[in-house]
Structure 1
Amino acid sequence: MKKKLFYGLIILSGFITLSCNEHLVGIQLQQTGFSNWQLLRPSQNDGSYYDLFFLDENNGWITGDSGKILYSSNGGLNWEQQNSSIKEKIHSITFLNNNIGWACGGRYILHTNDGGASWQVQFYDTDPTQLPNPKIYFQILFVNASVGFAVNNYGELYKTKDGGKHWIVEATWSYRGAAHLFFVNDMVGYVFTMKEILKTKDGGNTWQKFDYKTPLCTGIYFTDEKEGWSLAFVPTNSMIINSPIYKTIDGGMNWTFVDSLPDAYLNDVNFLDNKTGIILGATKIFTTTDGGNNWEVAADFSQTDIRFVDIAVVNKKNVWVSDYKGVIYKSSY
C-alpha cells in the first residue's frame, strides 16, 4: 500500500496549498491546467539526477551520478536501476523505440539495443590534449536510427551516420560550456551556445552561424521550422529575480522579448500544441493557453526543497517533471 502523500488542503488566494510529507513543506497549485501533480518517486538521497526521458506513457528513464540510469515500465510508478557500465555522471539519454537508445556523460557515449537491460560504450574520448580537464558530453540526440548528434563542453558538435559506431566533429564554436541541441525534423536543427546559434537545414551536413544576443540560454523549443522559444538566465544581485523568455518567428534569425517569469532559473520549455505550452522553472511551473503570449504560474514549489531540472512530455495526459534529487511528479492538462 502506498503512503498517502497529502495530509491537508487549504484554499488560499486562488491557489490550493498542500501540506505533505517530509519531502515537501507546501505546494501552491493554481486551479488550471497542470495543477494535479502526483508524486511518483520521492527522494532516495542517492545523489544528483539530470535528464528525464519518456518514450511513451509507460517507458521512461532518468539519469544521475556515478553512471546511474533508472528505468520505469509503468509511467514512473516504479523504477529499477540499469547497469550503464560506467561511473561518470550521465547527463543525457534518448530512445528511438523500446529497444534502441543512447546516453552520454563524462567522456562516454553509450548505446543499448535491449531497452537498457545492457549498455555498451560506443565512444570514449581519449584526446590527450584535454587532460587533466577532459571533455564532458552534455547532450545526445538522434533523428533516426543512423543519424545522431552530441555536444560537449569544448565547443564541439559530433555527428554519426551509422548509429553511433563512428563519430566525427561536424561543427565547432569558440565558447566553452554547455550547449543545447534541438531538431525540428530530420533536416532542420539548432545548437544554442552561450553567444551564438548554429543552424542546419540539411540534416547536419552544413551549419550556419549567427549571433545570439539574448542572455545565457537555458532551454529551447521549436514548434515548427519558423516559430521557436528560448529561455534565458540573467545573473543579478537583486532580491527580485525574474528570468526572460524570447520568441522567434523567422527560424531563429531574430528574437523578441516576450515576458519575464518570476523564477531564478528556467530549465525547459515544451509545447503540446500550437496554443498549450509549459515552462519548467527551478521552483515553479508555468503554462500558456494562448500560444505563449501570456504565461501564468500553474504550480509553485518555492516553499519546498524541490529544485527542478527536467521535464518530459509525451502528450497532454502524460507530463513528468524531476528535480536534482530524483524526485518525480506527473501531471496532465
Structure 2
Amino acid sequence: MRRSKLGAWGILTLSAALFTGIAAPPAVSEAAQAPAAGGCRADNHDLALKTVPDTSGQAQFQSIQFLSAKIGRAAGNGFMIGTSDGGCSWQAINNEGKFDFQDMQFQTNTTGYIMAKNKAGGANLLYKTTDGGTTLTQIHTGAYAFNRVQFLSEDIGYGFTTSMTFRTTNGGQTWDKVTTPPNTRYVHFTNQQDAWAVVLVPGTGYEIKRTVNGGKTWANTLKVKSSAIVGGQIYGTGESNVWVVLYGDTGMSQTSYSLFHTGDAGAHWKQLVSNSTAGGGPAPGPQTSGLKGPTGAPENMQIIGREAAYLAASSGAYEKVSIGRSLDDGQTFKTITGIPGYSGKLSFTSAKNGFAAINGTAAAIYGTTDSGANWTKKFSLPANH
C-alpha cells in the first residue's frame, strides 16, 4: 500500500535534479546536524515547510514512498519533499500548505496518484501528477470519497470506501463497482484477476477470501476466530505470497493483533504473530504466547517478493515505532528494532534497503542498509512549525 520535492537548486531545475539520480555523498551518523565537507546532513536541510491551516501547526509525515535506493518522496500535512540521492539531500516539491497528503502511489519518477485533503478534517480527494508532485490535477470519483486507493499501473487502479470497491481501467476517467463479499472491510489486488479480502463474520471472527476472476466469485481460504471483529489489512506482491494482519481490540494504548502468511495462494496458512494485550484483549486466532511481534498498533507492511517482509507498529505510550521482519519467506518472524516516535510508515526498495518516516517530538526520516538492524537519521523537522 499500503509514494514526493525544492531547495537550493530551485524549482525550475527540480525535475531534472530529482530524477536523474545525483550521486549520494557518504553517509554520516544519526547525530550529525550539519554536513562535513561533502558529507550528508540530518537536519531539516533549510526547508521551511508549511502546514495545512487548522491543523496543530506541528509538521508530521503521513506517507513515504521510495522508487529506488536513491529516489524517494515523503509527504505530510501541507508539504511534500523528495530526494534523489538516498536521503543525503532533500528538496521541497509541494510546499504551499494547501494539501493534507495522506498517501502517494507513483508508477514512475514523474507520474503518480496522490490521496489528499484540501482542508483539515475534509474528505479524501484523489489527484494525479505528471511532474513529480509539483502540480496536482483532481480525479473525480463520483459520489464516493475513497479512504484508500491501489494502482497497479497508470491506467488500472482501485478505490475503496469502508465497504465498497471500485475499479478504473482508464486512469480514473470512469469507475465501475467491483463485487465483493458482504461485510468486506479490506481488499488487496495482486493483479486484475487475483484479489484477497478481509471479511467480518459477526459473532465468529474473520474470513480471508480470494477471487481469481476479478471479483465475479470469491472463495474462502482462511477462517480466524476472534472475540473482537474490527478489521485488518492485506499485503502481497504476488498471488501466492500473501500477508494478512487482523485486529483485536484496543484499550489503554494497547492493540491486539495477529499476523498470518501463505506462500501457496491460501492452500496453507501460518500464524506468525499473536499479540494479545491487557488493554486490547486476546488477539485473533489461536493464543500462542511465543509468537510476539512489534508492540503497538500495526502501521504498514512492506513485502519484497519472497525475500523479505517488514511490519511497523507503534504506540504513543511506548514512544517507539517497533519493527519486525521475516527474511525466510515467512518461516519465522521476529521483532528486530525500534525507532523513537509515536507513529511511522516504512518504504523498502530491497531486502536490505529501506526508509522510515517517523512522527514524534520532531518528525524525522531514517534509512537502513542492513535489513532494518540499524537506522540512520536522514532528515528531521523542527519540533514546532
Scaled by the length of structure 1, the TM-score of the pair is: 0.70
- Retained in 1: the 8 A contact 2:196–2:234? no
- Per the alignment, residue 108 of structure 1 pairs with 125
The answer on 1:143 being equivalent to 2:145 is: no
Q: State the alpha-carbon separation in 1 of the partners of residues 249 and 346 from structure 2.
A: 23
Q: State the alpha-carbon separation in 2 of the partners of residues 316 and 264 from structure 1.
A: 23
Q: State the alpha-carbon separation in 2 of the partners of residues 219 and 39 from structure 1.
A: 33
Alpha carbons of 1:224 and 1:147: their partners in 2 closer, same or farther (altered >3 Å)? closer
Query: Higher relative CO (CA 8 A, sep ≥ 6), structure 1 or 2?
Result: 1
Instruction: Tell me the SS of whatever aligns to 1:121.
Output: strand
- Retained in 1: the 8 A contact 2:93–2:134? no
How far does residue 151 in structure 1 lie from its aligned partner after superposition? 0.9
- Per the alignment, residue 261 of structure 2 pairs with 247
- Per the alignment, residue 162 of structure 1 pairs with 170
How far does residue 163 in structure 1 lie from its aligned partner after superposition? 1.3
Q: State the alpha-carbon separation in 2 of the partners of residues 180 and 310 from structure 1.
A: 19
Percent of residue pairs identical: 16
Which among 79, 91, 103 is matched to residue 92 of structure 1? 103
- Per the alignment, residue 84 of structure 2 pairs with 73
Q: State the alpha-carbon separation in 2 of the partners of residues 145 and 267 from structure 1.
A: 26
Alpha carbons of 1:262 and 1:144: their partners in 2 closer, same or farther (altered >3 Å)? closer
Alpha carbons of 1:151 and 1:240: their partners in 2 closer, same or farther (altered >3 Å)? closer
Q: State the alpha-carbon separation in 2 of the partners of residues 214 and 85 from structure 1.
A: 45
Which among 122, 137, 140 is matched to residue 123 of structure 1? 140
How far does residue 313 in structure 1 lie from its aligned partner after superposition? 1.3
How far does residue 330 in structure 1 lie from its aligned partner after superposition? 0.8
- Per the alignment, residue 232 of structure 1 pairs with 246
How far does residue 273 in structure 1 lie from its aligned partner after superposition? 4.8
Alpha carbons of 1:41 and 1:188: their partners in 2 closer, same or farther (altered >3 Å)? farther
Alpha carbons of 1:172 and 1:272: their partners in 2 closer, same or farther (altered >3 Å)? closer
Alpha carbons of 1:273 and 1:162: their partners in 2 closer, same or farther (altered >3 Å)? closer
CA offsets 1:141-178 (integer angstroms, 9 cap, x no match)? 2212321111123x1212111111222322356559xx
Q: State the alpha-carbon separation in 2 of the partners of residues 79 and 225 from structure 1.
A: 37
Alpha carbons of 1:72 and 1:140: their partners in 2 closer, same or farther (altered >3 Å)? farther
How far does residue 115 in structure 1 lie from its aligned partner after superposition? 1.6
Q: State the alpha-carbon separation in 1 of the partners of residues 43 and 72 from structure 2.
A: 12
Matches within 5 A, 1:183-222: 183-192=189-198, 197=208, 199-202=210-213, 204=214, 206=216, 208=218, 210=220, 213=224, 216-222=230-236
Which among 354, 362, 367 is matched to residue 319 of structure 1? 354
Q: State the alpha-carbon separation in 2 of the partners of residues 221 and 69 from structure 1.
A: 25
Runs of 5+ consecutive residues of structure 1 not aligned to the other structure: 8-20, 22-37, 128-134
CA offsets 1:103-127 (integer angstroms, 9 cap, x no match)? 12434210112221211001154x3
The answer on 1:82 being equivalent to 2:94 is: yes
2:158 maps to amino acid: F
2:242 maps to amino acid: G
- Per the alignment, residue 58 of structure 1 pairs with 70
How far does residue 102 in structure 1 lie from its aligned partner after superposition? 0.6
Alpha carbons of 1:148 and 1:236: their partners in 2 closer, same or farther (altered >3 Å)? closer
How far does residue 295 in structure 1 lie from its aligned partner after superposition? 2.4
- Retained in 2: the 8 A contact 1:91–1:139? no
How far does residue 265 in structure 1 lie from its aligned partner after superposition? 1.5
- Per the alignment, residue 5 of structure 1 pairs with 30
Number of residue pairs the alignment of both structures matches: 287
